[in-house]
Structure 1
Amino acid sequence: MLSYQHAFHAGNLADLQKHALLAMMLEYLIRKDKPVSYIETHSGRGLYNLSSVEATKTGEAAQGISRVEGMKWFSDDHPLAQAIAAIRDVHGAQSYPGSPLIARHILRKTDTLHLTELHPQEYAALRDVTGRGAKLYRQDGLELAMALTPPTPRRGLMLIDPSWEVKTDYTDVPKLISQVARKWNVGIIALWYPILASKAQLPMVMRLRAEHPDALIHEVHFPPAREGHGMIGSGMFILNPPWGIEGEAQRLSKLFATL
Structure 2
Amino acid sequence: MLSYQHIYHAGNLADVHKHGLLAWMLDYLTAKDKPLTYMETHGGRALYDLADAAARKTGEAAQGIDRARGWFGAEHPYPRVLDAVRADHGPSAYPGSPLIAARLLRPSDQIHLAELHPAEHAALDLAMSPYPAKCHLRDGIETAFALVPPTPRRGLMLIDPSYEIKSDYETLPRTIQRLARAWNVGIIVLWYPILTTKAHQPMLAALAQAHPQALRHEVRFPPARPGHGMVGSGLFVINPPYGLEGEARRLASHFANLG
Give yes or no for TM over 0.5: yes
What's the % identity of the aligned pairs? 60
SS at match of 2:111: strand
Q: Does 1:91 align with 2:86?
A: no
Partner residue of 1:238? 237
What secondary structure is seen at the aligned counterpart in 1 of 2:219?
strand
The alignment covers a number of residue pairs equal to 257
- Opposite residue 108 of structure 1, the aligned amino acid is R
Instruction: Give the TM-score normalised by the residue count of structure 2.
Output: 0.98
Specify every segment of 5 or more residues in structure 2 that has no aligned partner in the other structure, as ranges.
Answer: none
Q: Equivalent residue for 1:5? A: 5
Residue in structure 2 matched with residue 224 of structure 1 by the alignment: 223
Once residues 68 and 140 of structure 1 are traced to their aligned partners in structure 2, the CA distance between those partners, rounded to angstroms, is 33
Structure 1: stretches of 5+ with no match in the other structure = none
CA RMSD of aligned residues (A): 0.7
| Offset at residue 31 of structure 1 (A) | 1.1
Does 2:107 correspond to 1:122?
Answer: no
The letter for the 2-side match of 1:17 is: H
Task: Say if 2:53 is the partner of 1:53.
Answer: yes
Structure 1: how far apart are the matches of 2:175 and 2:197? 24
**Alpha-carbon separation, structure 1, partners of 2:177 and 2:18:** 21
Q: What displacement does 1:171 show?
A: 1.6
Alpha-carbon distance in structure 2 between the residues aligned to 1:133 and 1:144: 18
4+ residue segments displaced more than 4 Å:
none
Measured in 2, the distance between the counterparts of 1:252 and 1:8 equals 24
Q: Partner amino acid for 1:4? A: Y
- How big is the shift at 1:168? 1.1
SS in 2 for 1:39: strand
Q: Is the 8 A contact 1:116 1:140 kept in 2?
A: yes
Match of 1:54, as an amino acid? A
Per-residue deviation, residues 84-105 of structure 1 (Å, max 9, x unmatched): 0110110001000000000000
Distance 2:171 2:122 in 1: 27
Question: 2:174 and 2:102 mapped to 1: Cα distance?
Answer: 28
- Note the C-alpha offset of 1:172: 1.5
Q: Is the 8 A contact 1:117 1:137 kept in 2?
A: yes
Q: Distance in 1 between matches of 2:28 and 2:179?
A: 22
